[in-house]
Amino acid sequence: MKPSLLALSTVAAWVPTASAWGGFGHITIAYLATSFLSPPTTSYLQALLRNSTEDYLAGVATWADSFRYSKYGRFTANFHFIDAKDSPPTYCGVDFDRDCKSIEAGGCVITALQNYTTRMLDTTLSGYERAVAAKFVVHFVGDIHQPLHTENVARGGNGIHVRFEGREFNLHHVWDTSIAEKLVGGIHRKPYPYAKKWADELAEEIKGGKFKDVAEKEWLKGVNVSDAKGTAMDWAKESNKHVCSVVLPQGPKLIEGQELGSDYYEAAAPVVEVQIARAGYRLAAWLEMIVSSLKNETEILGSEESSSLSTSAPRLEAGDL
C-alpha cells in the first residue's frame, strides 16, 4: 500500500543516510539559515532534532534525498520539484494547475512544502512526526531555489549531457553540485567544513555586504507560512526565470554534448550564489514564523515538559550523513 502523503512511517528516522547529490548546496543553505535564527527558535529546533550542536540543521539537510531513494521513501519522489511545462529559452513560467501533479498522483515541491509546514505547526502530532516534517521543510526550501527543480525540459536537465571542467555530467548535476563546488575552490572529502565556511561568508554578505539591501527590501516580500502554497509558488517562479536567462539561454538542443566553458560558468556562478543565499535567508525566516506560532511550546523548553517534545524525535548527527 502506498504510504499517505500526510504522514510517514516511523521507519523514516532509521533509513541509512548518505551524501546525496547536491548535498553541499543543501548543507550550506542549512548552515546559512542558522546564522539568522533567534535563540528561542534555535533552542526549539535543537530539541526537536535532538542535536545541540551548530550542525542541527546541516545534519538533516540531505535526509530527504536519502529517504527518497530508500524503498520506504519512493512515494516522495515528486516532492522535490515542480515540472514547469514551458519552452526555454522562448518562454519560462510556472503554473500550479498545469505543472503540479495532483496529491493522488504524488504532488510536487509546492504541495510538499505546504504539507510539511502544516505538520510542523500541528501540536497534536508527536515530536517525532514534527521532526520528520522539519527535515522535509529544510530540504524543500532549498530544492525550490535550484532553477532546474522548477523545469520539465529533459527531466529538469537530467537528460541533457554536457561537459564541465572536462568531465561528463548531466546538466542537472552541474547546477546541483559542480558550479557550487567550483565557486569555493573545490571540495575534498566531507562537505561540512566547506559548507560552513561558505555559509559564513554569505551571511556576512547578507548582513553588511553586497546582498544587504536586496535581502532587506526584496527577499522576504510576501513570505507567509499562512500562505505556504503562494509563497512557494513565488519562489518557484523566481527560480524558473533563470532557466531562460542563464541555464538554457540557447535552448536544450544547442547545449547538448557541449563543454560549458568560462562564459557559461561566469554567468551561472552568480545565480547559484544568490539562489543559495536567498534559500538560507528565507529558510531562517520560514522557521522563525513556524516557531513563533508555537510560542507557548517554546517557552517551556528547558523545563521538565520540554523532554516530551524531544524524546521521540530521531537522533541525527552531522557525521551520520
**Phi and psi of 91, rounded to 5°?**
-150, 130
How far is residue 199 from each of residues 34, 211, 254, 257, 275, measured CA to CA in Å? 9, 13, 34, 33, 12
**Euclidean distance between CA atoms 203 and 197, whole angstroms:** 10
**Euclidean distance between CA atoms 28 and 194, whole angstroms:** 8
Of 27, 44, 31, 65, residue with least CA distance to 290? 44
3-state secondary structure 257-282: CCECCHHHHHHHHHHHHHHHHHHHHH
Instruction: Tell me which DSSP letter residue 10 carries.
Output: G
How far is residue 62 from each of residues 25, 29, 122, measured CA to CA in Å? 10, 11, 23
Residues classed as catalytic: 21, 26, 65, 68, 80, 139, 143, 149, 172, 176
